[in-house]
C-alpha cells in the first residue's frame, strides 16, 4: 500500500513518537508520500530523516489511503482538502480527545498492521455544502462536521428565517443555528443539545444555539433536502462557521445548505467501532456513582 501523510506541525512538535510510524510502514513493505508543508516541518524544523517516495503540494498525489496525524481539527482540514479524491482516510490522534482521529499514537502500529492485513471496514461519511456569495478564498465550502450560523460575540441574538425545499420552516430567534452531519452530531451540535447520530445515517440535524423559545427543539431531516436561510441582526452582520472556520457576513445574505456531491471514506481497523469510540472517548453511558 501507499499512504499519503498529512500532519499538524504543532502536534508533531508536542509528540515526536509519531514519526516512528514512518519506519514501521516501510517495515511492512508499504510506502509513504508526504504533504509538502508537513514534510518541511519534519525535515527542516525537527530535523527528522524522513524516507518517502514523494513530496506533494495541493492534491497532486496518488495513494491507497490517507493518514491524518494530529487531532480532529487536522482530520477535518484533510477531509475538506481531499474529499473529492475518494481515498479512504485514517485518523491518528496526537491531540486531546480525538473522536474522528480515534487511533491513539500508542496504538498506531497495531492499527496499521490490521489495515495492511486487510482487517478493516470502510465507512461512508456524508458532507455538507454551503452555497453563498463571498466565501473567503482560504475557506472550503464543504463541511464534514457542521455549518453554523452564529451571532457576533458582542451582538444580541439573531433572527434566522429557515425553509426546507422552498417550504417555510420557522424563524429561529437564537444565538445561532448548527446544521450538522451525522459525523458532526458529536461535535458542536451535541454541545448545544443536539442528538447523537450513527455516522452512516442519511440525515441532517438542525439544532438552535440558546433559542429564545422553549419550543425550538432540534430537528432531523433527510439529507436529500435543501435548507435555505436568511439572517437579520441588530448589528447588521453575523458569522458563518464551516467546520470551525469562521467569517463575517452582512445580514440579508442568502444561504443554501445541502448534501455535498461527494462523501468521505473513513477506514476503520477491526475493533474501532463507533460505539466503542463513544464509550472510550466521551464516557458515554458511564455511571460514576459510588456503589
pLDDT digits (tens, 9 = 90+) for 161-193: 999 999 999 999 999 999 999 999 988 999 999
Instruction: Note whether 274 and 199 are within 8 A (CB).
Output: yes
d(CA 260, CA 269): 26
Percent of all residues in the chain with a pLDDT value above 90, rounded to a whole number = 57
Q: In terms of domains, do 84 and 206 share one?
A: no
Strands (E), 81-150: 89-93, 103-104, 120-131, 142-143, 146-150
Flag whether 23 is in a domain: yes
CATH (domain of 101): 3.40.50.10330
Q: Which residues contact 172 (CB under 8 A, 6 or more apart)?
A: 159, 160, 162, 208, 211, 216
User: Do 178 and 247 sit in the same domain of this protein?
Assistant: yes
Q: How confident is the model at residue 36 (pLDDT cuts 50, 70, 90)?
A: very high
The reply to whether 184 and 219 lie within a common domain is yes
Taking phi over 0 as left and psi of -120 to 50 as alpha, with beta for the rest, 153 belongs to alpha
CA of residue 81 relative to chain centroid, distance: 11
- Check whether residue 61 and residue 187 sit in a common domain: no
Which pLDDT belongs to residue 12?
56
Judge whether 287 lies within some domain: no
Q: What is the mean pLDDT of residues 127-152?
A: 93
Mean pLDDT of all residues in 276-287: 69
240 and 189 share a domain?
Answer: yes
In this structure, the answer to whether residues 197 and 136 fall within a common structural domain is yes
- If you ran DSSP here, which 8-state letter would residue 84 be given? G
- Whether 241 and 157 share a structural domain: yes
Which residues are tagged catalytic? Answer: 72
86: domain range?
A: 2-119+270-282
CATH of the domain at 150: 2.60.200.30
Residues 22 and 65 in one domain: yes
In three state form, how does the secondary structure of 70-121 look? ECHHHHHHHHHHHHHHCCCEEEEECCCCCCCCCEEHHHHHHHHHHHHCCCEE
Q: Is the pLDDT of residue 121 over 60?
A: yes
Quick one: cell of 244?
Answer: 470551525
Local confidence band at 68 (pLDDT 50, 70, 90 cut-offs) = very high
What is the pLDDT at residue 96? 67
Q: Are 149 and 239 in contact (CB under 8 A)?
A: yes
Is 291 among the domain residues? Answer: no
pLDDT classification of 18: cutoffs 50, 70, 90: low
Q: Do residues 149 and 238 make contact, with C-beta atoms less than 8 angstroms apart?
A: yes
DSSP class per residue in 160-201? EEEEETTEEEEEEEESEEEEE-TGGGGTHHHHTTPPP--TT-
Give CA–CA dist 148/207, Å, rounded.
Answer: 9
Which burial class, exposed, middle or buried, applies to 45 when counting CB atoms under 10 A from its CB (0-12, 13-18, 19+)?
Answer: exposed
Q: How far apart are the first and last CA of the chain?
A: 50
Please choose, from the candidates 258, 237, 241, the residue with its C-alpha nearest in 3D space to the C-alpha of residue 136.
241
In-domain check, residue 257: yes
d(CA 12, CA 69) in angstroms, rounded, equals 8
Distance CA 232, CA 157 (A): 10
Q: Is residue 288 part of a domain?
A: no
Q: Which sign, positive or negative, has the C-alpha torsion 124, 125, 126, 132?
A: negative
Same domain, 105 and 146: no
List, for residues 71-86, the tens digit of each pLDDT value: 888 888 899 888 888 8
Question: How much is the mean pLDDT over the chain?
Answer: 88
Asked if residue 217 is part of any domain, the answer here is yes
Residues 56-66: tens digit of each pLDDT: 998 889 999 99
Average pLDDT over residues 20-45: 90
Residue 203 confidence (pLDDT) above 60: yes
State whether 112 and 174 are in the same domain.
Answer: no
**Domain assignment present for 70:** yes
Residues 51 and 67 in one domain: yes
**Within a domain: 22:** yes
Report the domain count for the chain: 2
* 133 and 237 inside one domain: yes
Amino acid at each position: 500500500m501507499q499512504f499519503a501523510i498529512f500532519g499538524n506541525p504543532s502536534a508533531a512538535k508536542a509528540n515526536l513518537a509519531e514519526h516512528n510510524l514512518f519506519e514501521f510502514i516501510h517495515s511492512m513493505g508499504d510506502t509513504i508520500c508526504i504533504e509538502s508543508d508537513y514534510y518541511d516541518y519534519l525535515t527542516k524544523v525537527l530535523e527528522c530523516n524522513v524516507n518517502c517516495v514523494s513530496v506533494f503540494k495541493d492534491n497532486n498525489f496518488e495513494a491507497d489511503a490517507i493518514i491524518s496525524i494530529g487531532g480532529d481539527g487536522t482530520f477535518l482540514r484533510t477531509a475538506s482538502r481531499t474529499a473529492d479524491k475518494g481515498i479512504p482516510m485514517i485518523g491518528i490522534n496526537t491531540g486531546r480527545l480525538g473522536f474522528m482521529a480515534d487511533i491513539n499514537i500508542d496504538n498506531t502500529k497495531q492499527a496499521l498492521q490490521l489495515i495492511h492485513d486487510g482487517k478493516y471496514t470502510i465507512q461512508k461519511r456524508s458532507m455538507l455544502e454551503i452555497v453563498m456569495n463571498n466565501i473567503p478564498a482560504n475557506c472550503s465550502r464543504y463541511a464534514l462536521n457542521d455549518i453554523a450560523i452564529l451571532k457576533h460575540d458582542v451582538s444580541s441574538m439573531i433572527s434566522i428565517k429557515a425553509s426546507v425545499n422552498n417550504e417555510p420552516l420557522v424563524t429561529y430567534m437564537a444565538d445561532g443555528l448548527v446544521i450538522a452531519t451525522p459525523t458532526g452530531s458529536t461535535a458542536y451540535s451535541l454541545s448545544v443539545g443536539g442528538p447523537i447520530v450513527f455516522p452512516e445515517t442519511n440525515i441532517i440535524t438542525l439544532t438552535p444555539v440558546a433559542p429564545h423559545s422553549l419550543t425550538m427543539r432540534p430537528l432531523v431531516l433527510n439529507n436529500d433536502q435543501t435548507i435555505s436561510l436568511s439572517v437579520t441582526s441588530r448589528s447588521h452582520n453575523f458569522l458563518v462557521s464551516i467546520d470551525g472556520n469562521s467569517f463575517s457576513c452582512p445580514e440579508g445574505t442568502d444561504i443554501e445548505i445541502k448534501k455535498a456531491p461527494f462523501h468521505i471514506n473513513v477506514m476503520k481497523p477491526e475493533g474501532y467501532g463507533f460505539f466503542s469510540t463513544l464509550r472510550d472517548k466521551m464516557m458515554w453511558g458511564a455511571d460514576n456513582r459510588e456503589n
